[in-house]
Amino acid sequence: MEAASNQLVLQLNQLVVAYPSCSEPTLQGLTLQLSRGERVALVGPSGCGKSTVAKAVLQLLPPGSKSSGGLLLCNQDPRILRPKALNKLRGEAVGLVFQDPMTRLNPLLSIGGHLTDTLRAHRPGVAREQVRQRAEDLLQRVGITADRFNSYPHEFSGGMRQRVAIALAMALNPPLVIADEPTTSLDVAVAAQVMAELCSLCAELGSALLLISHDLALAGKWCEQMAVLEQGRLLEQGSVNQVLQNPQQPLTKRLVAAARRREGGDTPQSPEAAVVLELHQVRCWHRLPSLPWRSRWLKSVDGVSLRLHAAETLGLVGPSGCGKSTLCRALMGLNPLRGGEVLLLGKPLAVARQRMQMVFQDPLACLNPVMDVQRAIADPLLIHRMASKAAARSMALALMDAVGLPASFASRLPRELSGGQQQRVAIARALILKPSVLLCDESVSMLDAEIQADVLELLRDLQHQFGLGIIFVTHDLGLASGFCHRLIILNQGKIVEEGPGDKLLRNPLAEITKQLVAASPRLPQLVV
């Protein structure tokens, strides 16, 4: 048993990987090993090569990519296998849990069908009844009851879809599981449940876990070892306590310092300023399918009242499905209001909505892929006919400077920028119409700790410069408590608690707040 637990399942020895469109290799001599039962977190800044490791192991690199050096998965080199043998190795030697489970789930295939297809492909001799039983057992193991066997992915929440992804990854009892940012889009309570189930299954099967993450606190909570990547090389490796409490390399020190700043110290004091946004008993209800003589409604937002002051940041926190994003979409006019009143600068929202702008979670998804940076920022002025082309481009350059983008980036396309740079473009685009209120919907959740800290500092600077009122929507209570002046906890469409972040962390009153506090991963305390 001891020998099995120490069996190497992944061996990378001076691995070099180069993409066809890049002048420099993404992985530049990476050496890393994982044995059965080990849990290793792979962390580092955006672009360091974390996800490339997973792609190289599974041979999912784009055509034209080049790879050299040592790569063994369960003592086989996947690069030299024929397609049939490679597919067998992929399915049986390694399970992959993606960041977005919908990229793996077929919208036309039932939840049970996903599992039975996988099992039949790799176990063709097993009886149909046994395959069905195994699929139901897997779903039960990740907390999904058998009555949802014939449901479809769109009928599941994000957390439930990720549970299905875990069941698929574990279906064939793989010796290695790679989880690539598996909780980025989940609230902290659901993320804790998903990680607990994933780690429990790995421990039960003796599988190694390679967790790819930009969240140092999450990685420290669920893994025993931590490996830090910089520009495709292994910079530092050790136990999580060793790396997080006593980092040795400059990059690791910066990442840990940024993560501690992210957790925050004293909550900022709310400014005494004019009210820029008022909500009075706002309701956003959605009609559900029902009999003609009986109406049924999903009360996504049900009587929310709040005030936002100029130069104030109000954190809107809650679990998945609590109504956070629904409220944002309603304020932007993307969802209908079923009742209540919204005043922006003292005027009805429909009249003044241009003075409210939004920064989304995924900047690449909201930028036109064929529009260069300068045009993307200037475009809202042209849409609203508020400036000539020359004036709009000049204002765009000024805003690029304000958000820390050099003028040389003006002709670049979004795909040529890093995640942090893309988010700066999105922020500049939102600011060009000179809004009084900025809605930030999970706007830093996809960024690593160091870039998160940079973007949050940028938002603070812009807030002071322009007097912006900011509604900061997040599922991360720890992040919100350090960045926001006040917090509002939303659950089932209603405000259940509000106050300064440090107070809510120390003494949560509502049950959902207690759950969020308990589920929020924190860095280990420094040993003096």
Contact 233, 201 (CB under 8 A): no
In this prediction, residues 210-226 reach a mean pLDDT of 92
> How confident is the model at residue 271, as a pLDDT?
65
Cα three-residue angle 213-454-103, rounded to 5 degrees: 35
**Distances 320 to 9, 116, 191, 476, 508 between C-alpha atoms, Å:** 35, 29, 10, 11, 19
Q: Sorting pLDDT into bands at 50, 70 and 90, what band is 3?
A: very low
In this prediction, residues 514-520 reach a mean pLDDT of 87
Spatial distance between the Cα atoms of 168 and 157, rounded to a whole number of angstroms: 17
Q: Over the chain, what is the mean pLDDT?
A: 88
> How confident is the model at residue 527, as a pLDDT?
56
Using one digit for the tens of pLDDT, what is the confidence trace for 321-376? 788 888 988 898 888 888 999 999 999 988 888 899 999 888 888 899 999 999 99
Spatial distance between the Cα atoms of 387 and 390, rounded to a whole number of angstroms: 8
In the predicted structure, residue 270 carries a pLDDT above the cut 80: no
In the predicted structure, residue 185 carries a pLDDT above the cut 50: yes
- Tokens standing for residue 37: 């039962």
Contact 78, 89 (CB under 8 A): yes
> How confident is the model at residue 438, as a pLDDT?
95
In the predicted structure, residue 104 carries a pLDDT above the cut 80: no
Order the strands of the 66-73 sheet from edge to edge: 27-35, 8-18, 66-73
Return the sign of the alpha-carbon dihedral for residues 106, 107, 112, 116. negative
In this prediction, residues 80-107 reach a mean pLDDT of 86
Using one digit for the tens of pLDDT, what is the confidence trace for 19-44? 887 778 999 999 999 999 999 999 98
Q: Following CA atoms 477, 478, 484, 487 in sequence, which dihedral angle do they give, to the nearest 10 degrees?
A: 30
- Region of 291 (left: φ > 0; alpha: ψ -120 to 50; beta: rest) is beta
HSE-CB of 326 using CA atoms within 13 angstroms: 25
This prediction's pTM: 0.75
Cα three-residue angle 327-333-336, rounded to 5 degrees: 70
In the predicted structure, residue 471 carries a pLDDT above the cut 60: yes
Contact 510, 489 (CB under 8 A): yes
Q: Sorting pLDDT into bands at 50, 70 and 90, what band is 1?
A: very low
Using one digit for the tens of pLDDT, what is the confidence trace for 276-332? 999 999 999 877 776 677 778 888 899 999 999 999 999 999 887 788 888 988 898
> How confident is the model at residue 157, as a pLDDT?
74
In the predicted structure, residue 389 carries a pLDDT above the cut 60: yes
Question: Tokens 């025993």 correspond to what residue?
Answer: 224
Contacts of 427 (CB under 8 A, 6+ apart): 359, 403, 455, 458, 459, 462
